[in-house]
Amino acid sequence: MSSLLSAQTEDFIDWWQHAVFYQIYPRSFKDSNGDGIGDLQGVISKLPYLAETGITATWLSPIFQSPMVDFGYDVSDYKSIQTEYGTMADFEQLVNTATSLGIKIILDFVPNHTSDKHEWFIKSAARDPLYDNFYVWADGKLDNQGVRQPPNNWQSVFYGSAWQWHEQRGQYYLHQFAKEQPDLNFRNPAVVRAMDDVLLFWLNKGVAGFRIDALNHLFEDETLPDEPLSGKTTDPLSYDYTKHIYTKDLPEVLSMVQHWRQLLDDYTAKHSEGATRIMMTEAYADLQVLMDYYEDAGGVRGSQLPFNFHFITDVSGDSDARDFVYNIEKWLIYMPRGHTANWVMGNHDKPRVATRFGPASVDAMNMLLLTLPGVAVTYNGEELGMQDYDEISWEDTVDPPARIAGKLDYKKVSRDPERTPFQWSNATNAGFSTAAKTWLPVNPNYLVLNLEAQKQAVKSHYKVYKSLIELRKLPVLRRGRFSIEPLSRTVFAFKRTLKDYDTLVTIINVSAKEQLVNLTDFINRPQKLVVEVAGVDSVYAPGDSSFLANNRSDKPQLRLAPRAGLVLSYEQSGMSKQRRLLVKQIIKSFNVVLVALLMYNLWRHKWTKVNFN
Ligand code: GLC
């Protein structure tokens, strides 16, 4: 099975279409003032690191004023910076420094809900006429005993009823997440306008776009019907108890995506001195829904990058080669023509790569991420293969769904393990902070697993990651065609090809055993295979082509360590680009000589005629 992706011409590649987006979780990235919490000056101090690594753009989890119930995803003022993170001047400095280093800044836009401390909510609760309908308010129901109950059976993603009684207003309000995160009412045009204003505010500060949070939760059925039971659990308070047909993925969401796209496009058109402003959207949704975000059946465009979470949600350490191939193909087959694929390998809500696939998979997963066609999205720390810290005590646990789950069950849902501080070095607190206590504990493995050690080591995950980004500059990775196949149950490979350039091949062993791979079926008469990037456990090193030594025929047998990958290149037609260019040059010169001779002969003939007749 193979699929071809139409090769794009260089002219059509906009800045974001082959970008590496790096997600920074600001609270855990770098603390500059010793309070145990990451901040904007910390991010600024590490921008040169991102530039040196080759990152195109960074998207920052929320940095706005917030009571931090959901660590910034509960915004109390969309237009000011969280005090513990810094000031607006710091933010402006961040944009300027990033711009001077060639890095673009993307902000997290949280439209579904605000904090219950937001001025809009306080005014809405007080029935201020201007804000009365800013949120989703509803009367409750009385049960048989005359006791007040929520209007329906909707549950919060974080467990328990999605409705909270508000004494002052005398009504329930909807919260799809924590009760301190009331849902905005996007059916109210004033809310849409207020949020547009937020987008324009940050665009004017020079951001290149937005990551849109919890997008598919934006609208609910106005008649508030009970949702049908899913049959997945008997716990009526669990989010899994019902099928979310009235609270998620309503068609109105698509209209909002298209509305924001228009706003961004208009802004780009008016400020053509800047780059295309883009959106990347967060929705764990069906493939068809995500594809409509790109472009609906009527050709209306929406999100440039509807996040593709398949490497997070649809494959794991137990998946075989066919599962990977199937998931990769799935996205490319459904994606409307002319759009850009994206691959998200991790984020602050899901276990890290080393934890999901096993630490031995780190390099292979980065090879996959960075050699597939389109956009790569890396969560901070994945370039080092950071691991979840699963031993965080109940006392140190801060993530709201984990606190709600309680002491016995918190580990099943906590997102704290993947949010621990970035491991810069083996200094105190991994070089993250000089505080006596950091907001989340540092993973004790920082003593061996840290950036500084990986920069010094001969081989390291970071070095592999960096060399992959370097390799991405090749035209064949920027716009080459793509085809993929499972070579067995345990190994899959894909090719990137482009006329006049060497072909690149990525091979991944997803099993826990070493595999010997014969590539003859996959590669048509390879004259010479060369290793471009090898993982830390590989027997090969970049530049090697020694595996051909035992094989005088063109039957290269590769050794792939457990869960390892390899990126190879080979000359497409047995002739290197340089050699092809030389031959072309010779032919060209030969033609020139031929034409000159012809002209000379003609001229001589004519001259002869003139003189002797
Ligand atoms: C998104 C965020 C997550 C947050 C939730 C509610 O899914 O990624 O961290 O808890 O929205 O805002």
d(CA 542, CA 89): 45
Domain ranges of the chain: 477-570
Rounded to 5°, the CA angle 111-113-115 comes to 125
| pLDDT tens by residue, 391-421 | 999 999 999 999 999 999 999 999 999 999 9
CB 529 within 8 A of CB 547: yes
Burial of 223 (0-12, 13-18, 19+ CB in 10 A): exposed
Q: What is the pLDDT of residue 2?
A: 35
Give the rounded distance of the alpha carbon of 592 from its chain centre: 52
Burial of 597 (0-12, 13-18, 19+ CB in 10 A): exposed
- Tell me whether strands 503-509 and 565-570 are parallel, antiparallel or unpaired: antiparallel
Which residue puts its alpha carbon closest to atom 12 of ligand 1? Answer: 73
| pLDDT tens by residue, 271-318 | 988 899 999 999 999 999 999 999 999 999 999 999 999 999 999 999
438 pLDDT above the threshold of 80: yes
> pTM (2 decimals)?
0.92
Our answer on whether the CB atom of 349 is closer than 6 Å to any ligand 1 atom is yes
d(CA 284, CA 480): 29
CATH 2.60.40.1180 for domain 477-570: yes
| pLDDT tens by residue, 67-97 | 999 999 999 999 999 999 999 999 999 999 9
- Phi and psi angles of residue 188, each rounded to the nearest 5 degrees, phi first: -90, 115
Q: What is the pLDDT of residue 597?
A: 81
Which residue shows structure tokens 């669990």?
238
Residue 600: band (very low, low, confident or very high) from pLDDT cuts 50, 70, 90? confident
- Tokens representing residue 513 in the block: 């055993």
Q: What is the pLDDT of residue 4?
A: 37
Say whether 521 is catalytic: no
Active-site annotation holder among 108, 227, 282, 418: 282
Q: What is the pLDDT of residue 525?
A: 63
Q: What is the pLDDT of residue 251?
A: 97
- Residue 130 Cα to ligand 1 midpoint, Å, equals 28
- Residue 73 Cα to ligand 1 midpoint, Å, equals 6
d(CA 510, CA 565): 8
Burial of 110 (0-12, 13-18, 19+ CB in 10 A): buried
| pLDDT tens by residue, 485-506 | 999 999 999 999 999 999 999 9
Atom number of ligand 1 nearest to Cα 401: 10
Active-site annotation holder among 39, 70, 74, 213: 213
| pLDDT tens by residue, 537-561 | 999 999 998 665 455 555 668 899 9
- Mean per-residue pLDDT for 120-145? 97
- Mean per-residue pLDDT for 439-449? 98
- Tokens representing residue 21 in the block: 């987006």
Atom number of ligand 1 nearest to Cα 73: 12
Residue 575: band (very low, low, confident or very high) from pLDDT cuts 50, 70, 90? low
CB 482 within 8 A of CB 373: yes
d(CA 316, CA 558): 24
Q: What is the pLDDT of residue 549?
A: 43
Q: What is the pLDDT of residue 591?
A: 77
Our answer on whether the CB atom of 213 is closer than 6 Å to any ligand 1 atom is yes
521 pLDDT above the threshold of 90: no
d(CA 40, CA 89): 10
Atom number of ligand 1 nearest to Cα 177: 6
- Tokens representing residue 288 in the block: 């068809």
Our answer on whether the CB atom of 177 is closer than 6 Å to any ligand 1 atom is yes
Q: What is the pLDDT of residue 37?
A: 98
Of the listed ranges 99-113, 152-166, 224-238, 548-562, the one predicted with least confidence: 548-562
Residue 357: band (very low, low, confident or very high) from pLDDT cuts 50, 70, 90? very high
d(CA 596, CA 521): 48
Q: What is the pLDDT of residue 578?
A: 56
Residue 349: band (very low, low, confident or very high) from pLDDT cuts 50, 70, 90? very high
Which DSSP string corresponds to 419-482?
Answer: GSPP---SSGGGGS--SSS-SSPPPGGGGTSSHHHHHHSSS-HHHHHHHHHHHTTSHHHHH-EE
| pLDDT tens by residue, 150-209 | 999 999 999 999 999 999 999 999 999 999 999 999 999 999 999 999 999 999 999 999
For the chain, what percent of residues have pLDDT higher than 90?
A: 86
577 pLDDT above the threshold of 80: no
Q: What is the pLDDT of residue 554?
A: 52
Residue at 363: amino acid letter = D
Say whether 119 is catalytic: no
610 pLDDT above the threshold of 50: no
Which DSSP string corresponds to 141-174?
Answer: EE-TTS-EE-SS--B-TTSSBSEEEETTTTEEEE
Mean pLDDT of the chain: 93
607 pLDDT above the threshold of 90: no
- Tell me whether strands 305-306 and 342-344 are parallel, antiparallel or unpaired: unpaired
Query: Is the Cα torsion angle 157, 158, 160, 164 positive or negative in sign?
Result: negative
